Amino acid sequence: MTGVSFSFGTGEDVQYNINYTYDVSFVCHTILSKLVTVCSQGWAADFIPKLLDEATKAKVYDNVLHSSGIDAMETCKELARKEGIFSGTSGGGVLTAALKLAKDSVEGTSILAIIPDTGERYLSTPLFGDIPADMTEEEKEIAASTPSLPPPAPGLPDVLPEATEFVKKEITNRKVLCFMLEYCEFCWTLTGLLDALGVEYHRIDIDSFEFAKGNMGNKYRSALQDTTGCKTFPQFFIDGKFIGGAVDACMLWKKNELQKIFEEAGVKGGNGNFNSYEGDAFEFLPKWMCQNPLRSK
C-alpha cells in the first residue's frame, strides 16, 4: 500500500488546466496512490495505471513519498477512531504521506489529502482483522450508558378493501411471491437463497417509488399484515400458502421441508433440481446476526 504526495508551486498547469493561487502540497489518491514497487490491495503486481504513467513522463509532480502497508492500515484505523472517516487501506496510505509531509513543512503550509475511498469493501481484509464480531465489554458499557428504545412502529392506514383485494390477488396468482422492503437485509437473504436454488419468483417491494403515490405501499402493507398476522419482512408465499420470513425459509430448507413444498407446487428450480444446491442456507443470513451460526466463518 503506497501513499504518495506531490507538490505544485504557484502558477498554472496548462496540461491539466488547474490554476493555483498559492503554494499547495497536494496528496492525491486518484493519480498516484498505486505505485509499481509496492501495490495497493486490489491492483495486480507491476501494474502502472495509465494516468500515473502519463503524469510521470510529463513530470507534473515534484516528489514522491512512500508509506508502508502497516503504516497505511494504522493511519486508516486512527482516521476512523479520531475523525470518524471510514477509509480504505490506500486512503490511509495517502494520509500517512500527508502527515510525513506535514512534519517537514513550515508552519502555515496548506496540505490537501484526497481520500476518495470507503472502508466497507475492506471489512473482510486484515485492515479490520483485529476487530471482533461481537461487542467488547467497553462497547457494551458505552451502549448501556444511553437509554435505548425500539423504533416506533410505522403508522399504517386502515385496512382498505381495494388494498386487501390487491394483496390476495397477488398471493393467489403468483406461484412464488415475496413481499419485501427494498433495503432489508433479511429480504436479501430470501432472494439470495431463491437465486441460488434457481427458483423464479415475483417480488413486490412495497416501499418502492412504484407504490409511493397515494401512500399505496403502506395501504398494501396494512392489508398484508391483516391477512397474515405478520408485521415483519419478507413475507414469502408458495402457491398461495404463507411460508413465513427469511429465517423460516432457511430453516425449512435445512430440514428438507421447503423442497417438498416446492415440489408439491410444481416448482423444481434451476436445472430441475434446484441447481443441485448443497450449501448451508444460513450463508445468506446477515453475518452480524447473533443467531447466525456462520457469522464467524
Read off the pLDDT of each residue in 19-40 and give the average, rounded to a whole number.
33
Is 222's pLDDT higher than 50?
yes
Q: Is the pTM of this model over 0.75?
A: no
What pLDDT, in 10s, does the model give residues 78-116?
999 899 999 988 889 889 989 998 988 888 888 888 887
Residue corresponding to grid cell 481484509: 125
CA 257/CA 234 separation, integer angstroms: 19
What pLDDT, in 10s, does the model give residues 138-193?
988 998 998 888 777 778 999 999 999 999 999 999 999 999 999 898 999 999 99
The pairing of strands 18-20 and 24-28 is unpaired
CATH number of 161-284: 3.40.30.10
Strands of 24-28's sheet in order across: 5-8, 24-28, 111-114
For domain 5-128, give the fold: Rossmann fold (3.40.50)
The pairing of strands 18-20 and 176-180 is unpaired
Computed over every residue of the chain, the mean pLDDT equals: 81
Is 264's pLDDT higher than 80?
yes
Helical residues (DSSP H) of the chain, grouped into ranges:
29-32, 50-58, 69-83, 89-103, 137-144, 161-173, 185-197, 216-228, 246-254, 258-264
Three-class secondary structure of residue 112 per DSSP: strand
Report domain extents, the chain: 5-128, 161-284
